Amino acid sequence: MTFDYDLFVIGAGPGGLAAAKKAASYGVRVAVAEQEAPGGTCVNRGCIPKKLIVYAADFALQNQMAYSYGWSECQAHFDWTIFIKSVHQHIDSINHSYFQQLQEAGIDLISEHATFVDAHTINIDGRKVTADKILIAVGGQPVKPDIPGIEYAITSRQMFHLPYLPKRLAIIGGGYIGTEFSSMMHAFDCEVTVIEKDEMILSGFDDDIRSAMQQGLSKRGIQFFTNSTAQEIKYSEEGLLLMIAGKRQEIITADTILVAAGYTPHTKNLGLENANVELNEQGAIKVDEYSRTTQENIFAVGDCTSRLQLTPVAKAEGKAFADTVFGNKPQKLNYDYVPSAVFCRPEAASVGMTEAKAREKFGESVKCYCTQFQPLLSQMTKQDEQTTIKLVVDGNSGQVLGAHMVGEHAADIIQSLGVAIRKGITKEDIDETIGIHPTAGEEFLSLS
């Protein structure tokens, strides 16, 4: 049978784009369908604009410390309207770059919604297109709790389109998205309250890191209601009233309520049933270790599956799929040592096992090395800033199982350590390494 394309990709996020470009490099005919701007959540309403807001917030924090470093106090005004306009202009330039890359690679970009007719046929606005292989890379979408008045709340998608900064912001959810926005918006003088259902924020991270982050953000003035859930939102002349339940009933008044309660796979309205592609109970596409779905010629990568919801992971999955299917180089990803970060102030990052996970696998042989100290940057100021670093080690072999940090440059330091940990570095190897002084990273080399 002759197909219109060798590969048809549904979704132009990081996973879909990586797969399309890699497949095209093998000489196959590729098309990508994307009804929104290319780049997916990360570029358009996630990692990139969020990190730019972090940088903008840093200027506010640096201004607070400047007097301690000899700079005279001065009045500064932040204009959210000017800033967010610049952010969207930058995103537009990235989108244009993707268009050029796809064009240069000979990849057809179809700006329409795609649905399955059968395992080899895609419907594009009434037009049928056929493909030998199909890759689903449609990502995820924010989840909203089913409570009265939830229509008054927004998700991270709308945060990048706020016409003005709220004076009072309530955030439902203390995961990395909610935590990052709490830090950013507080730096812009927003009064921030976070509602988290667990005992501590950042579920999934090491407990010492979770505790250090929550303490650091609390010291900055962010209010946390843990072991609490949102019950109802009401509109009033004073603002939005958020009723929460926990140790006690509370009513929080806010100008804006952000829901950051996680993401769910964006797998509805794709016609997957027409192609016999099965989903799990959470609505994620079932895949094997090579990203193949329950239909032999259809694959899926990124957040629409039940694996790690991280941009670099989606990219790696997309490339591995193309190498396996079109490059005759079967590849499986190792998800054990994928680093992750929370771009707050203080910053947090982690790679490998948490202490709890390590003890589940290795029991009492696990040794942990942890310390907390005041970084040099804040020693000249009145801020009670603390850096926390931690290594999780297998006591029998000495192998480092995980590294965790809260503090300045945590993401870059942990990312570098991740290479060594993935290669099986031991605690003795770290102890014998000479560091750079004065840096926060050198403290990992002298943990005892």
Annotated binding site for NAD(+): 173-180, 196, 262
Asked if residues 245 and 229 have their Cβ atoms less than 8 Å apart, the reply is yes
Report residue 392 as tokens. Answer: 């999780």
Question: Which residue spans within 196-315 are E strands per DSSP?
Answer: 223-225, 229-236, 239-245, 250-254, 256-259, 263-265, 298-300
> CA 259, CA 374: separation in Å to the nearest integer?
33
Coarse DSSP helix, strand, coil percentages of the chain, rounded to the nearest 5 percent? 35, 25, 40
Q: Rounded to the nearest 5°, which phi and psi values hold at 113?
A: -80, 135
| Separation between Cα atoms, residue 34 and residue 365, nearest integer Å | 50
Query: How far apart are alpha carbons 248 and 203 in whole angstroms?
Result: 22
For the annotated catalytic residues, the residue numbers are 437
Q: What's the one-letter identity of residue 49?
A: P
How many Å apart are CA 339 and CA 405, to the nearest integer?
A: 11
In sequence order, which residues have a C-beta less than 8 Å from that of residue 191 and are 6 or more positions away? 167, 168, 169
| Helix 355-362 × helix 207-219 angle, to 10° | 170
d(CA 163, CA 148) in angstroms, rounded, equals 25
d(CA 272, CA 258): 31
User: Using CA of residue 175, residue 181, residue 186, residue 191, what is the dihedral sign?
Assistant: negative
